[in-house]
Amino acid sequence: MSRTYVLRRGLQAIGTLLVIVTILFFLFRLGLPDPTVALVTEGLSPEDRAVIRERFGLDRPLFEQYVIYLGNIVRGEFGTSFYYKAPVAGVVWEKFANTMVLMLVAIVIAYLLGIPLGAYLAWKRGTRTDTVGIVLGLMFRSAPMFWTGMLAVLLFGVALGWLPTSGMRTLPYEAATFFHKVFTLDFLRHLIMPATIIALFYLGSPLLIMRNTMLEVYGEDFIEMARAKGLRERDVLYRHAARNALLPVITQLAVTIGLAAGGQVVVEVVFSWPGLGREILQAVRTSDFPLAQATFMLMAVLVITMNFLADLLYGALDPRVKLQ
């Protein structure tokens, strides 16, 4: 893989991001209502609101606002949230961490379970185990997470009372840092239900990809050779086939992690998880441009980076892929 390829793809990624940022900037400013309109219900007159609009910089021409915005981004400044009147970076960062903890745990569980199970199903191809496995995997992917989540809350939270039903922790709590917040038993108890629900939904993807690529790899010459050498089926499966079949699963993993920040808004809603997905909904609903833009940009950066990484990974791991 040549350095110029990496460089070119990297530049393309940045170009893509610029386009997305621009589209969003104009989409939000032109499509969303005036952020001060909600203040009418607080009894503010048009003159009072004009003062606030000026403070937000909304009285300037749109293009000027855009140039200022781009300049700030380059300097790493994302502005002040209209609603919280606090720097956007702080707000977004915390929610981002909350979302990623949940999503990464769920994704890791899903792939740790899905990969070996998929390989196993491939080995058992055509049997009843295979069919049951496929049907179960597909079932979890077909059931909407807000539904399974609601049923889980109903069963384990309300009826049985085993697990907490909302939030990340029992309040009030005392914690000095983010890590103190996260590595507690109480946090784990809050994490179990949402993480399991997401993991089950994601399980089907590695399971089926793994199974299918295993079947494809089975047909390849080197497997036949291994078989011909008299290796046991199990060894063929795990030593030779699985290793080669992992590639698409791993690239899929990278893409999945990329999409994680965009997250599963419904799960955040059902379990009252204070994550990024709910924040962006709220920000758009209140026309909090800086917050909405920064949140969406963060999501896009993650997606683009992970896609880029998946590409590179693919090139690095699969000798058959030639990159120009």
| Half-sphere exposure in the Cβ direction for 298 (13 Å, CA) | 28
> Tokens standing for 19?
């386009």
Which parts of 117-176 interact with other proteins (CB under 8 A)?
125-126, 131, 134-135, 138-139, 141-144, 146-148, 150-151, 154, 157-158, 165-167, 170-173
Which parts of 10-39 interact with other proteins (CB under 8 A)?
12-13, 15-17, 19-20, 27, 31-34, 37-39
- Other Cβ atoms closer than 10 A to 223: 18
Diameter over CA atoms, the chain = 86
The amino acid that residue 57 corresponds to is G
Span of 102-110, 183-191, 234-242, 260-268 interacting with other proteins by CB under 8 A: 260-268
Q: Which is nearer to other proteins, 226 or 259 (CB)?
A: 259
Reduced to 3 states (helix: H, G, I; strand: E, B; else coil), residue 283 is helix
Query: Looking at the DSSP assignment, which residues form a beta bridge with residue 87?
Result: 80
- Other Cβ atoms closer than 10 A to 215: 14
Among 70, 192, 266, 309, binds other proteins (CB under 8 A): 266
Span of 41-49, 65-73, 190-198, 313-321 interacting with other proteins by CB under 8 A: 41-49
Among 78, 111, 273, 289, binds other proteins (CB under 8 A): 273
Among 3, 42, 63, 185, binds other proteins (CB under 8 A): 42
Q: Which is nearer to other proteins, 150 or 250 (CB)?
A: 150
Q: Which is nearer to other proteins, 69 or 308 (CB)?
A: 308
d(CA 200, CA 206): 11
Q: Which is nearer to other proteins, 34 or 66 (CB)?
A: 34
Among 68, 86, 104, 132, binds other proteins (CB under 8 A): 86
d(CA 102, CA 82): 28
Give the nearest distance from C-beta 205 to other proteins in angstroms: 12
Among 108, 109, 259, 309, binds other proteins (CB under 8 A): 259
Determine the size of the site formed for other proteins (CB under 8 A): 93
d(CA 35, CA 48): 13
Span of 66-74, 108-116, 211-219, 228-236 interacting with other proteins by CB under 8 A: 211-219
Reduced to 3 states (helix: H, G, I; strand: E, B; else coil), residue 133 is helix
Q: Check if the beta carbon of residue 222 is closer than 8 Å to that of residue 242.
A: no
Among 8, 10, 26, 55, binds other proteins (CB under 8 A): 55
Span of 60-68, 107-115, 208-216, 245-253 interacting with other proteins by CB under 8 A: 208-216
d(CA 119, CA 218): 11
Q: Which is nearer to other proteins, 139 or 188 (CB)?
A: 139
Question: Which DSSP category does 87 fall into?
Answer: B
- Other Cβ atoms closer than 10 A to 183: 10
User: 116 Cβ partners below 8 Å, 6+ apart?
Assistant: none
Which parts of 294-323 interact with other proteins (CB under 8 A)?
296, 299-300, 303-304, 307
